[in-house]
Amino acid sequence: MLEILFQDEHYIIINKPAGMLVHRTKLAKHDVAEFAMQLLRDQLGQWVYPLHRIDRPTSGVLIFAKSSEAASAFETQFSEKKIKKYYLVLVRGFFTEEKVYLDYPLKKEESQEMQEAQTTFWKMAHFEVPLPSSPKHPTSRYSLVKAFPHTGRTHQIRRHLGHLRNYIVGDTSHGDNKQNKFFRSQFDLHKLMLHAWQVEFSHPFTEELIKAEAPLPEYFADILEKLRNPELLELPCD
């Protein structure tokens, strides 16, 4: 069953597992178990309407409306930028600034048109482990970063962190393949370390401030624990 983080008569927020589609696509149109919308409909026994999407490899908060009226009422949250979504990301290298506001346009999918895109990043933690990620570096450095996208461009967080050269661990589209290979060999990680962590919005009907937080997936929390405590790592023998 899908983990429910919040629900009332109008809305429901779930913690979407990594690897699950939000809704049916041409690539998985016959695989009912692969998309969250139908699973949630079956779980609740009623129709639901996805209010936004997160990429298939991304885990975390996902909001649905329980009626078309509730879905329509929610539209102003996005058009007036009233909704706040925060992500946790594990990236390559030390994130040197406490806070970074990046205003860097991104190309629209399948065209050369540039779209404005802004993201704020906060450094949450640094990790340095005694494992060489390359012959030139005897240790490996990583950062846990919180991200707030002000705009909603495709793969915005992934592309912006790529621009900063703080590639997301496990990102096979915009990341560092050497780091991905390193994490597969050292941690058996085959997932994207990008988690939709928190969401805040004003309830369209009650005006109550709604906050929901999705716990980290077990694999994400496990890797952070090993990075915080290098003695848990299986270090190579000299």
Among left, alpha and beta (phi > 0; psi -120 to 50; other), residue 4 is beta
Note if 55 is an active site residue. Answer: yes
Which residue of the set 55, 188, 222, 238 is catalytic?
55
User: Known catalytic residues?
Assistant: 55
